[in-house]
Every structure is written in C-alpha cells, then in structure tokens.
Amino acid sequence: MGKNIGFVSTRLAGIDGVSLEASKWADVLESNGHRCYWFAGELDKDPKKSFLVAEAHFQHPHNNWINERVFGKIDRQPYVTREIHSLRSHLKAKLRKFIDNFNIDLLIIENALAIPLNIPLGIALTELISETQIPSLAHHHDFYWERINFLVNAAGEYLHMAFPPKLPNMEHVVINSLARDELARRRGILATIIPNVLDFKNSPCIKKNYDKEFRKSFGINNGDIIILQPTRIIKRKGIEHAIELVRALNEPHYKLIISHEAGDEGFKYAEWVKYHAREHGVDLRIANNRIPSPWNNNGNNSNAYSLWNVYAYADFITFPSLYEGFGNALIEAIYFKKPILINRYATFVKDIEPKGFDLVTIDGHLTKETVQRVREIIESSVRREKMVNYNYKIAKKHFSYTVLKERLEASMHKVFEKSDFSETSMETEHNPYNTCFSEESQFAQLSN
C-alpha cells in the first residue's frame, strides 16, 4: 500500500544537488505507488502538494541573523539562544501542521540534519521526530565538519544534538563512502550509501530543433563551441580551472557558459570569476535567469529551457571541483553522452574513479597534455563517440534508478520495521515566535 511521504529541507527548488536528488527520489517513489509532499522555505513543486514556510529557508533574514552570531564565534549571548528556540518553536508547529495536513507516514529530510544552515529547523525536526516517533529517513549530502565555515562556532551542543541526530526511528543515507565512514566514527551511526543517480534506461527528454534559440539566448553563434560549467558559482567549484582551459585552447569560437546564477554563497567569487575571465581573454556567459529542474512538475512552463537543454547543446563539460559530496555534473554529462574534464576530488577518487570511466582528469592544475587531449576529443567525433558510449554503459550499471530503487526500498523497510510509530496525538505547541523578543535583541529590527 502506498505511503504519504513528506520531503523536508531548507530549499527544494532549482537545480542544486539536494533539490535534484530529492526530485529523483520522489520520481522513483511515486512510480512505486507512493505520494510525495514538500516542506521547505522555497519550493517549485505542485502547490497542492507543497507546504511553504519562509522561515525554513537558509537565507531567511531571521535565520541569517542567528548564523551571523553563532558561526565564527566561540560564545553565544542569551538573547541569541532565545531567538533560536523561538524560531525552533515556530518551525516545529509548522512541521506538525504539514504532517497533519497531508497525513504523512514517512519523513525524508534532505540535508537539513547535516548542514546547519538553519539550526532552528534542525532542532525542530529532531524534537518532532523524537516526540512523535514518525518513521524518518535522513538523506545527508554533506556534513558540517566537512566545511571550514562551520568549524568555529558557538552552537556545539545543537550541532551534536541535531546534525545529525541519533534516533531509534531514523535511518541515515549518505552519498559516498567517506561520509559513511566519518559518520560512524564521529556519531556511531551506521548509514546506507545511495549514490546520486539518473534514469540511464531512458534517454533524456530535450527540445528538438531548439539549438538556434538556445544559442541566441546566450548570444552564441551557430559555429561556436560551447564549453559548459554546469554548477553554481561558488569557490569550491574551481571555476578558475575552466577559465584557464578555455584560455589555453586559445580559439575565439570557444565560449564558456556557467549554467547557474550566483548568490547562494555571496557574489564576491562570482565577480572575481568574471574579472578572471576578462583578464584571460575568455568569452564567459552566465545564465541570467534560474534554469529550472527537469523534474519540476509545478505546471509553470514559462522558462524556455531546462537544465537538460543546457547539457544537450554543450560540446564539452568542465567540472574542476575542489570538493564534492558526490558530483551530479559528472553523471549528468555521462547521461547526455558528453565528454568531461574532472578534477580528482576525494569522493571521485574513492567511489567513482575505480569504476573505470574514460574521462579527462586533472590533479588541481592543467598541463599542456591535458589541454591537447581536450582539443583532440572536441575535434574528433570518432574518439568522442567511443568515450561517451563507454561511459554511459558503466554509469548504467552503477548509477541508475535501479540502484536507487533497490537501496531506497531496503532503507524504508528497515525504518518501518524498527519504528514503534503509532498515530500519536500531536498537541499544538504554544508558539512564542512573535511574542518573546526582548528589548535587548537586535533580532526584532529585521522586521522593521
């Protein structure tokens, strides 16, 4: 019998890795007869299945105020603690309403119990799951101890409590073996590995005969070669290496496109990337509008193209990341049968490279040999076809929906089997969210 499954995160919209994988999970779950619903601070899902709570977003002003006072600090003022718990109480009440409104049987928490971008949401989830004993799957994409900006903090007790929590009615899923091993060492939590996947049994759906319109939207001529950097503009993506590659190829008809807007982690790096490209004579184009997820079923077709079209019309993919939990761009490039350059980040070396893919790799820097190899691949259709077809075959075996379906079903079976969840009465908690701000708090000023 199908279950009502509630996905919870800070944001479930667009084409960041967390949102994309949540959509794939929902795709598989719904194909098995389950019904999926969505809770977050930003959503692009069917409104009838969505529960939008602005304060759940990691960039909500109230949450930013808290983060500014707990990260990079070693002490926390009492009024900050009060605001954390005020927002926690508000979010907890909203989560209860979400569960009640959609009669949720299982929660799937997408990274909100791994990265403390919204501490009150993490605490609210942990308390609610403990109180109700609702079966829960925590899907962790990366952990706070993997990020330098979270290492110095004044919220250690909250991080240990909720990022992630160790609860009897919760199963944990990670996306690579390094995360699994570190989670076991730090928390004594055993996790299942479910890698990021794509539906390799079915070819991607793209708009045919749309190449001219797509190129026009980026100001690119028909004869130009598109080098695609399909990532957000954040420092760990190593976009400077893509710029250096295009410079070294030294052809005016080679154009570099970055598919995602800047903003998730500020604009300083984005401005530097633009400057770096200009200084090196690289023709760089950045998406001006958010490119939607190909799994977006909200009925809004106002966007001219999705992420799939961006891949479809590219000639070569660059993915020189310094760090990745998994690396969606890799399997997306393989899915679209595109050649790709990869920086050998740790997860790639441990979990992906041993599968035997035929890729262009670098170790933190470009060489003349690497540049020449990229040039040969772009210019030789025979070499390119052999490479991409070989890679597709390997990915179909290791990173397909079949792998996701088998491991997700096993994790769901375990959590329902061990959970003592019953339809516990969830009493409405008093919400002091708008009443407990003291005069000493600067927090209230954000509402003015």
Tell me the whole-structure pTM to 2 decimals: 0.84
**Whether residue 243 sits in one domain with residue 389:** yes
Structural domain total, the chain:
2
User: Are the CB atoms for 394 and 355 separated by under 8 Å?
Assistant: yes
Q: Flag whether 448 is in a domain.
A: no
What SS3 state is found at 337? coil
pLDDT for the residue 211: 74
234 occurs within a structural domain: yes
DSSP 213-249: HHHHHTT--TTPEEEEE-S-S-GGG-HHHHHHHHHHH
Residues 161, 276 within the same domain: no
Helix ranges, 302-442 (H): 307-312, 328-335, 346-347, 368-379, 381-398, 401-418
Q: What is residue 286's predicted lDDT score, i.e. its pLDDT? A: 86
Same domain, yes or no: 226 and 374: yes
* Shared-domain flag, residues 122 and 156: yes
- Residues 181, 248, single domain; the answer is no
Statement to judge: residues 25 and 173 lie in one domain: yes
Element (H, E) at 6: strand 4-8
Q: Is residue 442 part of a domain?
A: no
Question: In the numeric block, which tokens belong to residue 255?
Answer: 């154009």
Q: Does residue 140 lie within any of the structural domains?
A: yes
Residues 169 and 274 in one domain: no
Classify residue 33 as left (phi > 0), alpha (psi -120 to 50) or beta.
Answer: left
Domain of residue 137, residue span: 4-197+401-436
Give me the CATH number covering residue 252. 3.40.50.2000
Can you list the alpha helix ranges (DSSP code H) found in 336-380? 346-347, 368-379
pLDDT of residue 436: 40
443 within domain boundaries = no
Residues 189 and 85 in one domain: yes
Give residue 15's pLDDT: 78
Asked if residues 228 and 317 have their Cβ atoms less than 8 Å apart, the reply is yes
In a shared domain, residues 179 and 81: yes
Same domain, 369 and 409: no
Q: Are 8 and 107 in contact (CB under 8 A)?
A: yes
For residue 364, is it within any domain? Answer: yes
Contact at 8 Å (CB) between 122 and 144?
no
Q: What is the pLDDT of residue 209?
A: 67
Structure letter (DSSP) for residue 407: H
Same domain, 154 and 230: no
Task: Assess if residue 283 is contained within a domain.
Answer: yes
pLDDT of the residue at 217: 78
pLDDT at 292: 63
Distance CA(209)–CA(192), nearest Å, equals 42
Tens digit of pLDDT at every position of the chain (448 positions): 899 999 999 999 987 889 999 999 999 999 999 999 999 999 999 999 999 999 999 999 999 999 999 999 999 999 999 999 999 999 999 999 999 999 999 999 999 999 999 999 999 999 999 999 999 999 999 999 999 999 999 999 999 999 999 999 999 999 999 999 999 999 999 999 999 999 999 887 766 667 777 788 778 888 899 999 999 898 999 999 999 999 999 999 999 999 877 666 668 888 999 999 999 999 999 876 656 666 665 545 445 556 777 888 899 999 999 999 899 999 999 999 999 999 999 999 999 999 999 999 999 999 999 999 999 999 999 999 999 999 999 999 999 999 999 999 999 999 998 775 444 434 444 444 443 434 344 444 544 4
pLDDT on residue 447: 47
Domain-located, residue 43: yes
pLDDT at 342: 97
* pLDDT in the model for residue 309: 74
| 432 lies in the same domain as 297 | no
State residue 287 phi and psi, 5-degree precision: -55, 130
